Amino acid sequence: MNIFGRKGRASLFGSGRKILSCSAAILLLTNATYVLSALTLYVDTKTNQVYTTPGKNRVKLGDFEPVRQAENATVQADEKNAQAIEARIDHKMQELKALEARLEEQQQAIQAAAEQPEPVLVPETEPEKTAAKEETKWYDKIKIGGYTQFRQSAGLGGDLENLSSPGDKSIEEDTNYFIRRARLVFQGDITDHLKLYMQTEFAGGDVSVRDMYGDLYFDKKKEFRVRPGMSKIPNSFELLQSSRDRLAFERADALSTGVRNERDTGVFFYWTPEHIQKRFSFLRKGLKGSGDYGVIGLGAYTGQGINERDKNDNLHFAARLTYPFQFSNGQIFEAGVYGYTGRFVPTVAANADAGILAAPVFNKKGYRDARIGLHAILYPQPFGLQAEWNWGKSPQLNDDRTRIVSGDINGGYVQAMYKYDSSWGPLIPYFKWQKYDGAEKFADNAPFARVREIEAGLEWQIRPEVEFVIAYSHMDRTNVKNLIHVKDANLMRFQLQWNY
């Protein structure tokens, strides 16, 4: 607001400038007069007093010039100070004029705004609020990843001609370069209460679905969830551990014979406390963890295997309890128990290579299929140990190869490892021994298999996206295709894995 008015303020500062100029002129004139005039002094002979005018008894002393160099300097300094003050006054006057112009512009803007009619405020409707929250579409939250494993095997001696494994076709004769796995994953938290996960397999010539499920969370901490769809069965540690993270080339036969390809169609419930969720996530980052399949996991599934329909209208039930303990030094040790039960219907067929001329007799309602197992893992920090063992019942081809019966299974593995973080990337040497006696229920006619195998290898994590593994294996195992038992086979395997 202009308190004095433009004319009043200009008059005030204008008068000030005139007064200052007059004062400076008077000061200069006085000093000049004082400098240029001569001074005549007289002394009274009786009183000895000095006077500037003549008089009685006064004797002239003489004429004096009171001009000095120091006084001239003082006068010059006064002149300069007066000029400087006048210059500053001019500068301030210019600033005041500019400020006055801005204030007038602001007052005009305020007055113009005041003359506009007030807008009518319309409350935001619920659909509009929802639209604002849904600026990020659900498909924008989907992440794409996966991995590919490229292998080669080299025989070092023994009965390589009859060597075969249900889990690794790259060890078979006349096989050179081999793509063991080529996975593509789509996943994302669609909302706070729904996560979608889908994984496809491109290796082997046929594209197939490995996972297709949704996690339905009951709470925002995501401690309780239900998982309907096709997914891994809450079972052994190694079956739940991704092949992307596993050290050994394949899972132990003693475990994979229970749930081949680790997956089935069903509904599962998982409970994981919030602080254990963080621990499971930490273990996946370089320590070969299995991921979050709950401290408690349980559910029901068809029991016939991945991408297979149910054959006997009978469900399998599985349950698992595990806990990762963390000690004061940061070391983590996980231990747990798991099991499943149900009735399994095997596939039967004539097999001339195995001497089976007619399909074995079997119960179309299935056979008891049940296991219980233990697992314990000391994570590699840097030294680690991993062990599992399970026992149970499974359908099995009898000795004369004519009938399917219920047989016992027994087996497991022990693995030692050491994680060394080098300047070239983490190096993890490992040694694994496994044993299994029992049926291969997913193979035709559920034949009995005997496995004794050792594997010693080294994983080199060249970069987070590239890993290389080399391993030696001595194999003593049954070829479930022709039922020939290979007691001695030695080979080297090489694997290049890239993650994306």
143, burial (CB in 10 Å: exposed 0-12, middle 13-18, buried 19+): exposed
Name the superfamily (CATH) of residues 139-499: Porin (2.40.160.10)
How many whole angstroms separate alpha carbon 336 and alpha carbon 234?
A: 11
CB count in 10 Å sphere of residue 301: 24
Residues 6+ apart with CB under 8 A from 278: none
Query: Which has the higher per-residue pLDDT, 347 or 49?
Result: 347
Per-residue pLDDT, 97: 80
Closest CA to 24 of 89, 79, 93, 92: 79
Mean pLDDT of the chain: 86
Supply the angle between the helices 6-36 and 69-115 in degrees, to the nearest 10.
180
**Cα–Cα distance, 278 to 122 (Å, whole number):** 45
Render pLDDT for 191-211 as a digit per residue (tens, 0 to 9).
999 999 999 999 977 899 999
| Separation of alpha carbons 339 and 319, rounded Å | 6
pLDDT score of 5 more than 80 = no
- pLDDT (average), residues 381-403: 97
Best CA proximity match to 314, nearest among 275, 388, 364: 364
Instruction: Read off the DSSP letter of residue 52.
Output: S
pLDDT digits (tens, 9 = 90+) for 222-234: 999 999 999 999 9
Q: What is the pLDDT of residue 48?
A: 73
Chain mean position to CA 373: 33
**Distance of alpha carbon 163 from alpha carbon 174, whole angstroms:** 11
Nearest alpha-carbon partner for 67 in 28, 29, 39, 40: 39
Domain layout of the chain by residue ranges:
6-110, 139-499
First to last CA, the chain: 67
pTM: 0.72
The first and second tokens of residue 33, run together, are 């007069």
Coil/strand/helix, residue 205 = coil
Tell me the per-residue pLDDT of 109-129, one tens digit each, with 9 for 90 and over. Answer: 777 776 665 555 555 555 555
**Among 114-118, 158-162, 289-293, the least confident range:** 114-118
The answer to whether 239 and 259 are in contact (CB under 8 A) is yes
Q: What is the mean pLDDT of residues 215-240?
A: 96
- Candidates 448, 435, 315, 313; CA nearest to 394 is 448
Q: Read off the pLDDT of residues 448-482 as tens digits, 9 standing for 90 and up.
A: 999 999 999 999 999 999 999 999 999 999 999 99
